[in-house]
Structure 1
Amino acid sequence: MSLEVENPASTDSTTNRLSLKRHDSLFGDAEKVSGGKYHGSEVNWARTLHLAFQSVGIIYGDIGTSPLYVYSSTFPNGIKNNDDLLGVLSLIIYTLIIIPMLKYVFIVLYANDNGDGGTFALYSLISRYAKIRMIPNQQAEDAMVSNYSIEAPTSQMRRAQWVKQKLESSKIAKIILFTLTILGTSMVMGDGTLTPSISVLSAVSGIREKAPSLNQTQVVGISVAILFMLFSVQRFGTDKVGYTFAPVISVWFLLIAGIGIYNLVIHDVGVLRAFNPWYIVQYFKRNGKDGWISLGGVVLCVTGTEGMFADLGHFNIRAVQISFTGILFPSVALCYIGQAAYLRKFPDNVGDTFYKSIPESLFWPTFIIAILAAIIASQAMLSGAFAILSKALSLGCLPRVQVIHTSTKYEGQVYIPEVNFMMGLASIIVTIAFRTTTSIGNAYGICVVTTFLITTHLMTVVMLIIWKKHLVFILLFYVVFGFTEMIYLSSILSKFIDGGYLPFCFALVLMTLMATWHYVHVKRYWYELDRVVPTNEMTTLMEKNDVRRIPGLGLLYTELIQGIPPVFPRLIKKIPSVHSIFVFMSIKHLPIPHVIPAERFLFRQVGSTEQRMFRCVARYGYSDRLEEPKEFAGFLVDRLKMFIQEESAFRLNEAENDEASSNEVSEAQTRPIRSTQSVVHSEETIQPRVSSSRSGRITLHANQTVEEEKQLIDREVERGVVYLMGEANVSAAPNSSILKKVVVNYIYTFLRKNLTEGHKALSIPKDQLLKVGITYEI
């Protein structure tokens, strides 16, 4: 509910007065609070440079440690022709320029959702401009929050409007977009699982240069121990070690750049000819199918690129652009150039290029920094994977599990215990099973390139309906990047049986779980929506069940954002009592990253004022954290008291307007029979005084009533807050298909029973929780 001052242009004595206008849609109007801040907002250059330095440690660990294994993965059977090194180096250089630099740093980063990036951020951005979600998510109140910013199409946007209408009217298009989104999320999760395996294993393998007696089994054992430690400390969060990230990775970049320059000068400066792309053409002419297959190793030079976009919420676009072009690209490019120069003289050492090309005096410092860099690379990808999954949770694609925010400085850094355990277990199993970086790389590349392709397709939709770019630009973007990524994907798929099947199996399982949960979530929502009790029947419902009021504040959680949920009639039939202050509470996640606190709560009166029953919708962005129960209750009570005050002000204003209109009508009826002007003036001066006096008494009474209501709320809160939740058992209807019964009765039920329950996700204390059981057949 909001109050707005209105000043009409009319000069009429009644309409000239300042009046309060209420926008009363489904839940009341949201307060129009401007100036909402979000990640990525404009900052000064000093702050931008500081963020650029921090970004080096947070988002470049993965792509920065790729030189550990790219050449060995590209030439698993050795180097047949020395000139092949020039072709591969040219491929590496231009792949770095085309995909991470041109596509991500200078195009994709601008498609952020109010500062946040990632696959789900793109999906939520599109869903705000077109109604593509299975559950309605666009209400008038939501569009008024500061970060929402919906732009209505105009006649100049015909193509965008046409595409938008096609998306909204096509169920298949909606399913395709949703499938692409969860596939991209699954691949990023696969990336987060495989990054620790390949990074740590490749870094640890270097120890065999100084301890050749170690066999591969012992190297794997050391790697598993490091991985176990890595996943064990996730609960402490990256914030605890965040200050060491940027310095360590910066030292790493200085080392690899310096070693690259050393190898270039000492061994073969001629490899700089690789900047000529003609060497790529010659490479493919010379190697044919083998050259095409080797692209699966080359593409590993851009692993972690999606992390630049997914972790954008911690920084801003300019900071990422500066750190990539000024630090990452030159350092990594010099490292690859130096390795190529070394291999021109020692082609037999391609299996362990990185460590063999290090000068003797720098080996141990580089080895230690490499281990730390590999751990940081893994940490960064895990943090990104947790952040993306938390967004999926917010959009109803996974069960409500506990999301722990590990950083007070970076809001996007979260930790999900159940997911950490499963990813850690999978990463250790992969390391033990595959044993070598080459085998893991075959699976790793599929995750990376599939995510690239999905981002390209979602970006094309963004360009069509949101950016409204010229068709030539859109086609150029889609053809150049889509064609490049398709070539790489086709190469990696040739290694399907050599480990490439792993991410597909992983993605299939995760997509099945996400699709199942979302399907039942949508079905359950519509089931409840079809059986809601209209709010205007609340009084009748209470009288029919002879409901008595008990002390305290009751919060009944429901996923519905309209009407009275079907679990409430069941509650008062079984236990015909309701708390003195009763709130139907909905937690609603908008498809934006943040909702500022002033716009968090929307209230609506349910039934008569004396019943003191309210509807409340608490709105969160997918990167907002849920407050602790005590803090949440405090915020809610404060906003409830403000709502009561606003309602009283509105009713008072309404009464004054009615009285003023009545006086005006009475005055107009008596004016024709008045004989002298003096009488008219006398009556016109007396009437406002009487009205003003009466208005003052009404205002005083209203203020007293409001204060009494506020005191009553405070007293009831002191008596206790009780949280009520519907425990819905969802099952497939008897006439459902076998597939639907399997999905609903087995897969969904398994997820609901074995993952964290809703009250734990909301951090509701057990001693304040009351569950109400109900069964739905969908």
Structure 2
Amino acid sequence: MSSTFENDHPQRESVAALTLGALGVVYGDIGTSPLYTMKEIFSPHTGVPLDAQHIIGVVSVIFWGLMTVVTLKYVTLILRADNRGEGGIMALTALASKAAGSTHGRRVALLLIGVLGAALFYGDSVITPAISVLSAVEGLEVISPQFKPYVLPISASVLLALFAMQRYGTSVVGKLFGPIIVLWFGALAIVGIHQIAQEPAILLALNPVHAIAFLWAQGAHVFIVVGSVVLAFTGAEALYADMGHFGKKPIRLAWTGLVLPALALNYMGQGALLMHDASAIDNPFFQLFPDQLLVPAVILATLATVIASQAVISGAYSMTKQAMQLGLLPRMRVHFTSVKEIGQIYIPSVNWILLAGVLLTVLGFGSSSAMAGAYGIAVTVTMLITTLLTFFVVRHGWRYPLPLALVATGVFLALDTLLVISCSLKIIDGGWFPLILGALIFTVMATWRRGRELLITHIQQDDPELLPFITALSADNMHRAARTAIYAVANPDTVPQALMHNLKHNQVLHERNLILTVIFHDVPWIEDKERVQVEELVPGFWKVKVNYGFKNEPDLPKALELCEQHGLPINLFETSYFLSREIVVPTRGTGMAHWRELLFALMSRNSRSVVDFFHLPNNCVIELGTRVQI
């Protein structure tokens, strides 16, 4: 995320500090997967026998899945596909589209695929807090069955508190994330080692032959089993999404130095526990702890799941900001809560929509086991999309030979396809939920983008060409106001509507007129030296282009100060901003379906003001309304 300063990247600390921060933010989600994964794999609906051979096989599949999906795919390959240091599905989509070249059809297809991945991420942002917090609070039932009626109210209260605190930012809380997660992973490893020492036969799971044999023996049943095993890999996408915050090296160090060993030891510990006590399957994670440590374990697990949820919530804010600036969502109010910490922005509308979705999910499903069916499908489709986009980066961006590009991504593509197919079998059991959420958000994004295209086309279709028009004006002796007028436009080659209105109704022209265009590029950052481009057209008229990356915070007055370096000094105290505000009028006929036009009109009416979005001074803005039929 950008800071409140246009070209300031979050200041990098030492590798040790960044590695600690990465533990808290990046690995919270995958680090809390042991809470529910083993319980779901051996639940009655999978039909996996609870004996030593199958337990070793399951743990082997989990271990080698972590090695393949996380270590090889994300840590080794995907982290290399950075867009000027930034990661995540939107950054990768921009990178893949750029690498795809000038083929319009391919670029549009890649954009749509990326938008689908982004839409599914929001589904994950709803389910992750719900299942994580609920599975942690369910540990109270292990302490005493009498706590069962209080699990849902306590979970809802924790989630309410989590979302309510978002407005204050996570700059202070963020400093606690790393140490708590270090304690969490340390606890995972210690209790795992304790159980392994009692049943060392579980170490056979380190042999990949047991994983292969287990999967082969399942036959067609393998899809049902893998649909539960995938719960161990959820959260892997965060490694890539948060690369811009921490860098590759800290993320890799955290994974190989602590996270992978702790997860492996804990899953083996749960397997060892089940090998000598099959009754522990009710909640194998909390059964790892001695009775006197159950209460501290539940508290620590709840803290860890809150941290895991925070990472996804912050990711949703970041994704929304990028989508707005790439023209995929309407403008929303963004609050900057810190200039240095990771959780530095807060978007109220996204926050409360997510909270409503999370609470409905908790109350609707009622338990982490019921929710497990909904968890996984959105994540695995996003993982598949990431691999597909990475192929285009490897092939066209890095220019690897086709056979090498296929080898580099083909294995992961096949594995991701297996995971998607496996999770798709759970659609009836709850998998429909994130898919519907994703479909709704995809529809909103696609409608907004298409609506903006139609709107701009209709505005521009009758506008005269700019250069002949202002050439004629410059020769006119019309009275000129001794101020600077800035006309913000989408197309700098036609006459701005606001300029036409100014001439027609006020019969006045300013001494200095800037035709201003703001461009958001498909790169995360644009530095100050590349911020503005100035071109003098005729006496009294200049064309100014302001460039931003999709992670920069747009601030037009600050950007206009840079025009002085290009021979165009601007006195901002003697400047007026003329804006055209379009009122969308849906009509039946060509364009979009009528319901989509109504949706676009609704979003357009409620989108954040251009004045606020670009930080324009309120007392210097003149807005002229125009009704536009689409």
Q: TM-score, normalised by structure 2?
A: 0.93
Gaps of 5+ in 1: 1-35, 131-163, 646-709
- Cα deviation for residue 250 of structure 1 reads 0.6
Matches within 5 A, 1:287-298: 287-298=218-229
* SS in structure 2 at match of 1:378: helix
Whether 1:209 aligns to 2:209 is no
- Cα deviation for residue 327 of structure 1 reads 1.1
- For residues 265 and 386 of structure 2, the distance between their equivalents in structure 1, rounded to whole angstroms, comes to 28
* SS in structure 2 at match of 1:213: helix
Q: Deviations over 1:393-442 (max 9, x none)?
A: 11111111122333311478432211111111101110110111122222
Residue of structure 2 in register with 1:119 after alignment: 89
Residue of structure 1 in register with 2:595 after alignment: 742
Deviates more, 1:523-532 or 1:303-312: 523-532
Whether 1:358 aligns to 2:289 is yes
Aligned in 2, Cα 1:127/1:571: closer, same or farther, shift over 3 Å? farther
- For residues 109 and 116 of structure 1, the distance between their equivalents in structure 2, rounded to whole angstroms, comes to 10
Gaps of 5+ in 2: 1-6
Q: Deviations over 1:669-725 (max 9, x none)?
A: xxxxxxxxxxxxxxxxxxxxxxxxxxxxxxxxxxxxxxxxx6xx54xx43x543322
Matches within 5 A, 1:317-336: 317-336=248-267
- Cα deviation for residue 369 of structure 1 reads 1.5
Residue of structure 2 in register with 1:770 after alignment: 622
- 1:280 pairs, out of 211, 223, 242, with 211
- 1:623 pairs, out of 551, 563, 573, with 551
Residue of structure 1 in register with 2:426 after alignment: 495
Matches within 5 A, 1:509-548: 509-530=440-461, 531=463, 533-541=465-473, 548=479
Look up the equivalent residue of 2:564 and give its one-letter code.
K
Residue of structure 2 in register with 1:52 after alignment: 19
- For residues 775 and 176 of structure 1, the distance between their equivalents in structure 2, rounded to whole angstroms, comes to 32
The answer on whether the counterparts of 2:96 and 2:393 sit within 8 Å (CA) in structure 1 is yes
Whether 1:310 aligns to 2:241 is yes
Look up the equivalent residue of 1:203 and give its one-letter code.
A
- Cα deviation for residue 59 of structure 1 reads 0.6
Structure ID, larger Rg: 1
The answer on whether the counterparts of 2:533 and 2:546 sit within 8 Å (CA) in structure 1 is yes
Deviates more, 1:381-390 or 1:512-521: 381-390
Residue of structure 1 in register with 2:113 after alignment: 180
- For residues 343 and 91 of structure 2, the distance between their equivalents in structure 1, rounded to whole angstroms, comes to 12
* SS in structure 2 at match of 1:398: coil
The answer on whether the counterparts of 2:226 and 2:419 sit within 8 Å (CA) in structure 1 is yes
Aligned in 2, Cα 1:412/1:356: closer, same or farther, shift over 3 Å? closer
- For residues 600 and 494 of structure 2, the distance between their equivalents in structure 1, rounded to whole angstroms, comes to 26
The answer on whether the counterparts of 1:355 and 1:363 sit within 8 Å (CA) in structure 2 is yes
* SS in structure 2 at match of 1:443: coil
- 2:557 pairs, out of 627, 630, 633, with 633
- For residues 179 and 754 of structure 1, the distance between their equivalents in structure 2, rounded to whole angstroms, comes to 25
Residue of structure 2 in register with 1:221 after alignment: 153
Q: Deviations over 1:702-752 (max 9, x none)?
A: xxxxxxxx6xx54xx43x543322111344566426x533322x0100111
Residue of structure 2 in register with 1:427 after alignment: 358
The answer on whether the counterparts of 2:81 and 2:390 sit within 8 Å (CA) in structure 1 is yes
Look up the equivalent residue of 2:549 and give its one-letter code.
G
Aligned in 2, Cα 1:184/1:571: closer, same or farther, shift over 3 Å? same
- For residues 578 and 72 of structure 1, the distance between their equivalents in structure 2, rounded to whole angstroms, comes to 73
- For residues 23 and 603 of structure 2, the distance between their equivalents in structure 1, rounded to whole angstroms, comes to 38
Look up the equivalent residue of 1:461 and give its one-letter code.
F
* SS in structure 1 at match of 2:138: helix
Residue of structure 1 in register with 2:4 after alignment: none
Residue of structure 1 in register with 2:516 after alignment: 585
- Cα deviation for residue 127 of structure 1 reads 3.3
Residue of structure 2 in register with 1:195 after alignment: 128
- For residues 246 and 312 of structure 1, the distance between their equivalents in structure 2, rounded to whole angstroms, comes to 16
- For residues 239 and 624 of structure 2, the distance between their equivalents in structure 1, rounded to whole angstroms, comes to 45
Aligned in 2, Cα 1:642/1:277: closer, same or farther, shift over 3 Å? closer
Residue of structure 1 in register with 2:71 after alignment: 101
Look up the equivalent residue of 1:736 and give its one-letter code.
T
Look up the equivalent residue of 1:214 and give its one-letter code.
F
Residue of structure 1 in register with 2:403 after alignment: 472
Aligned in 2, Cα 1:642/1:485: closer, same or farther, shift over 3 Å? closer
* SS in structure 1 at match of 2:496: coil
Residue of structure 2 in register with 1:376 after alignment: 307
* SS in structure 1 at match of 2:626: strand
- Cα deviation for residue 79 of structure 1 reads 5.6
- For residues 551 and 359 of structure 1, the distance between their equivalents in structure 2, rounded to whole angstroms, comes to 80
Look up the equivalent residue of 1:185 and give its one-letter code.
A
Deviates more, 1:349-358 or 1:222-231: 349-358
- For residues 94 and 333 of structure 2, the distance between their equivalents in structure 1, rounded to whole angstroms, comes to 22
The answer on whether the counterparts of 2:521 and 2:547 sit within 8 Å (CA) in structure 1 is yes
Q: TM-score, normalised by structure 1?
A: 0.76
- For residues 73 and 474 of structure 1, the distance between their equivalents in structure 2, rounded to whole angstroms, comes to 36
Matches within 5 A, 1:56-205: 56-77=23-44, 80-82=49-51, 83-130=53-100, 164=101, 168-171=102-105, 173-205=106-138
Deviates more, 1:220-229 or 1:234-243: 234-243
- Cα deviation for residue 81 of structure 1 reads 3.4
The answer on whether the counterparts of 2:318 and 2:345 sit within 8 Å (CA) in structure 1 is yes
Please provide the CA RMSD for this pair. 2.4
Look up the equivalent residue of 1:740 and give its one-letter code.
A
Aligned in 2, Cα 1:766/1:361: closer, same or farther, shift over 3 Å? same
Q: Deviations over 1:92-126 (max 9, x none)?
A: 00110111110011110110100100111012113
- Cα deviation for residue 534 of structure 1 reads 2.0
* SS in structure 1 at match of 2:623: strand
The answer on whether the counterparts of 1:62 and 1:377 sit within 8 Å (CA) in structure 2 is yes
* SS in structure 1 at match of 2:333: coil
- Cα deviation for residue 355 of structure 1 reads 0.9
- 1:722 pairs, out of 558, 562, 576, with 576
The answer on whether the counterparts of 1:412 and 1:623 sit within 8 Å (CA) in structure 2 is no
Q: Deviations over 1:344-368 (max 9, x none)?
A: 1222222311111112333233222
* SS in structure 2 at match of 1:574: helix
Q: Deviations over 1:148-180 (max 9, x none)?
A: xxxxxxxxxxxxxxxx4xxx3453x33321221
- For residues 275 and 547 of structure 1, the distance between their equivalents in structure 2, rounded to whole angstroms, comes to 84
Matches within 5 A, 1:575-724: 575-608=506-539, 611=540, 613-627=541-555, 632-636=556-560, 638-644=561-567, 713-714=570-571, 717-718=572-573, 720-724=574-578
- For residues 462 and 410 of structure 1, the distance between their equivalents in structure 2, rounded to whole angstroms, comes to 30
* SS in structure 2 at match of 1:114: coil
Residue of structure 2 in register with 1:20 after alignment: none
State, as a whole percentage, how many aligned pairs show the same letter: 29
The answer on whether the counterparts of 1:533 and 1:566 sit within 8 Å (CA) in structure 2 is no
- For residues 332 and 102 of structure 1, the distance between their equivalents in structure 2, rounded to whole angstroms, comes to 16
Look up the equivalent residue of 1:520 and give its one-letter code.
G
Q: Deviations over 1:315-341 (max 9, x none)?
A: 111121111111110011111110110
Q: Deviations over 1:613-668 (max 9, x none)?
A: 332222111111123xxxx42552x33333227xxxxxxxxxxxxxxxxxxxxxxx
The answer on whether the counterparts of 1:185 and 1:389 sit within 8 Å (CA) in structure 2 is no
The answer on whether the counterparts of 2:136 and 2:302 sit within 8 Å (CA) in structure 1 is yes
The answer on whether the counterparts of 1:401 and 1:758 sit within 8 Å (CA) in structure 2 is no
- For residues 492 and 243 of structure 2, the distance between their equivalents in structure 1, rounded to whole angstroms, comes to 31
The answer on whether the counterparts of 1:260 and 1:335 sit within 8 Å (CA) in structure 2 is yes
Residue of structure 2 in register with 1:446 after alignment: 377
Look up the equivalent residue of 1:127 and give its one-letter code.
S
Residue of structure 2 in register with 1:23 after alignment: none
Matches within 5 A, 1:750-769: 750-769=602-621
- For residues 50 and 445 of structure 2, the distance between their equivalents in structure 1, rounded to whole angstroms, comes to 47
The answer on whether the counterparts of 2:584 and 2:627 sit within 8 Å (CA) in structure 1 is yes
- For residues 524 and 466 of structure 1, the distance between their equivalents in structure 2, rounded to whole angstroms, comes to 33
- For residues 187 and 223 of structure 1, the distance between their equivalents in structure 2, rounded to whole angstroms, comes to 24
* SS in structure 1 at match of 2:514: strand
